[in-house]
């Protein structure tokens, strides 16, 4: 299988989002940096370092043959699970704001293993569903049960941190892959039922999750308590009007929006860039998703198609959940907006994933593969051949 040129529009969209993210991180964090660290550039400097690391990973992943990832997918998944377990070990995991999600790396910045575990899980599930074992996707014992156990273990470790939003993105992405690979509607209905029961249990067993649900429904009843973040985010979005107050001119970022440089950055987008700017950002994500799905449709093997789908779903679901929480369309979950929010591990993992997507696009844009006798029947059916 020969390779061609990568999808340069995807590359341009992502680099544009990263550059915009650096501007937004500085705008939304300089006051906090001055107050806590006496350095207005504290957060943006670290974000820039991680952006450089992420771009390096993007280039490396883009230049390699993505099919190599199928062979190492079990090892990647093992490393991901070990990392998720390590953050729960006292002395290794770092606790911040009541959550234990980071690993201390000595003189290096802390790393959040769950962000890289997302990518490892997507690669592993794509390899599993796109390989010989994927022929059993409609089987209960050899398809449904292994899938539920596999995803359940990873999502369960993430929930122990706790990090509900990341676990939700993992589950939504992998369930989408399971459906696309040919899962039966009965099994999909069972997954929906399992998800509903699990969500109910999680809400009832953790007060902060119930508070987020109450803030979504009745934020006005407690405007200075559990409804504070929801209402202040809406005030920021409304204050921007049509054209915005201008870059750097946000008022709500001065300690009214909790996490204004992390999961609250879209509220700052709405205030500084207005309705036009907020829609523009959403259009950038929509264009990225469209081009990613185009790569999926043109992928020359089933593993590549599933892998591209997983990466695109990861970006799309995470963006929708973040923007939905800020705009009060859904309850807040506290996950970052891809490429725009402060968070080194998230940015580096996403850029590595985009590099893989670009690698798939290189082979999708190359010469068509030579048909061989004895091709995998599932791949043949996907192309409409026998």
Q: Report d(CA 277, CA 270) in Å as an integer.
A: 7
Give the pLDDT mean for 137-161: 91
Locate tokens 């059993």: which residue? 136
Q: What is the dihedral of CA 344, 349, 353, 356, to 10 degrees?
A: 100
- Which among 181, 120, 130 is positioned nearest to 151, based on CA atoms? 120
Give the pLDDT mean for 320-335: 91
For the chain, strand residue ranges (E) read 93-96, 99-105, 108-111
User: What are the pLDDT digits (tens) for 221-237?
Assistant: 888 888 899 999 999 99
Give the pLDDT mean for 146-164: 92
User: What are the pLDDT digits (tens) for 97-111?
Assistant: 777 888 877 666 788
Output the DSSP codes for 90-124. BTTEEEETTEEEEEEETTEEEE-HHHHHHHHHHHH
- Which among 332, 343, 338, 317 is positioned nearest to 102, based on CA atoms? 343
pLDDT surpassing 80 at residue 5: yes
What's the burial of 327, exposed, middle or buried (CB within 10 Å: 0-12/13-18/19+)?
middle
pLDDT surpassing 50 at residue 153: yes
Q: Are 379 and 302 in contact (CB under 8 A)?
A: yes
Residue 350, CB-side half-sphere exposure with 13 Å CA sphere: 29
- Which among 366, 251, 348, 340 is positioned nearest to 18, based on CA atoms? 340
- Which among 178, 177, 182 is positioned nearest to 307, based on CA atoms? 177
User: What are the pLDDT digits (tens) for 27-57?
Assistant: 999 999 999 999 999 999 999 999 999 999 9
Q: Are 254 and 31 in contact (CB under 8 A)?
A: yes
* Greatest CA separation for the chain: 68
User: What are the pLDDT digits (tens) for 10-35?
Assistant: 999 999 999 999 999 999 999 999 99
Give the pLDDT mean for 251-268: 92
Across the strands, what pairs with 95? Answer: 100
Instruction: Quote the DSSP letter at residue 195.
Output: H
Give the pLDDT mean for 111-117: 93
Give the pLDDT mean for 209-220: 86
Q: How many residues does the chain have?
A: 386
Model confidence band, residue 143 (pLDDT cutoffs 50, 70, 90): confident
Q: Report d(CA 191, CA 197) in Å as an integer.
A: 10
Please tell me the predicted confidence (pLDDT) of residue 169. Answer: 95
Q: Report d(CA 148, CA 171) in Å as an integer.
A: 10
Q: Report d(CA 274, CA 307) in Å as an integer.
A: 35
pLDDT surpassing 70 at residue 167: yes
Output the DSSP codes for 166-180. HHHHHHHHHHHHHHH
**CB within 8 Å of 311: residues ≥ 6 apart:** 119, 122, 292, 353, 354, 356, 357
For 31-58, letters b (16+ CB in 10 Å) and e give: bbbeeeeeebebbbebbbebbebbbebb
Please tell me the predicted confidence (pLDDT) of residue 96. Answer: 79
Residue 255 falls in which region: left (phi positive, over 0), alpha (psi -120 to 50) or beta:
left
For the chain, the average pLDDT equals 89
Which two tokens mark 33?
Answer: 């940096």
Neighbours of 218 (CB within 10 A): 12
Across the strands, what pairs with 102? Answer: 94
């Amino acid at each position: 299988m020969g390779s061609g040129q990568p999808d340069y529009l995807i590359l341009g969209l992502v680099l544009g989002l990263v550059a915009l993210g650096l501007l937004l991180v500085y705008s939304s964090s300089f006051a906090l940096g001055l107050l806590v660290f006496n350095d207005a550039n504290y957060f943006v400097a670290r974000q820039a370092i991680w952006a450089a690391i992420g771009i390096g990973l993007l280039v490396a992943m883009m230049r390699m043959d993505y099919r190599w990832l199928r062979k190492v997918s079990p090892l990647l998944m093992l490393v991901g699970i070990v990392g998720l377990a390590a953050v729960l070990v006292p002395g290794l995991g770092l606790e911040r704001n009541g959550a234990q999600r980071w690993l201390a790396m000595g003189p290096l910045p802390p790393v959040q293993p769950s962000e890289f575990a997302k990518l490892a899980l997507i690669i592993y599930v794509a390899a599993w569903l796109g390989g010989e074992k994927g022929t059993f996707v409609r089987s209960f014992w050899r398809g449904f049960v292994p899938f539920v156990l596999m995803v359940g273990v990873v999502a369960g470790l993430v929930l122990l941190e706790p990090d509900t939003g990341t676990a939700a993105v993992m589950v939504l992405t992998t369930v989408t892959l399971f459906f696309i690979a040919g899962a039966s509607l009965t099994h999909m209905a069972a997954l929906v039922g399992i998800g509903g029961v699990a969500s109910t249990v999680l809400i009832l067993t953790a007060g902060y999750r119930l508070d987020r649900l109450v803030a979504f429904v009745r934020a006005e009843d407690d405007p200075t308590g559990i409804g504070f973040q929801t209402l202040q985010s809406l005030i920021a979005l409304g204050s921007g009007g049509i054209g915005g107050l201008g870059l750097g001119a946000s008022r709500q970022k001065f300690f009214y929006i909790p996490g204004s440089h992390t999961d609250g950055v879209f509220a700052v987008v709405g205030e500084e860039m207005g309705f036009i700017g907020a829609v523009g950002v959403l259009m950038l994500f929509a264009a990225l998703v469209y081009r990613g799905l185009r790569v999926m449709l043109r992928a020359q093997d089933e593993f590549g198609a599933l892998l591209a789908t997983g990466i695109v779903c990861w970006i799309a679901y995470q963006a929708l959940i973040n923007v939905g929480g800020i705009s009060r369309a859904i309850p807040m979950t506290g996950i970052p907006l891809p490429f725009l929010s402060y968070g080194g591990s998230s940015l580096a993992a996403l850029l590595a994933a985009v590099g893989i997507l670009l690698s798939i696009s290189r082979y999708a844009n190359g010469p068509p593969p030579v048909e061989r006798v004895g091709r995998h029947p599932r791949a043949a059916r996907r192309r409409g051949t026998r």
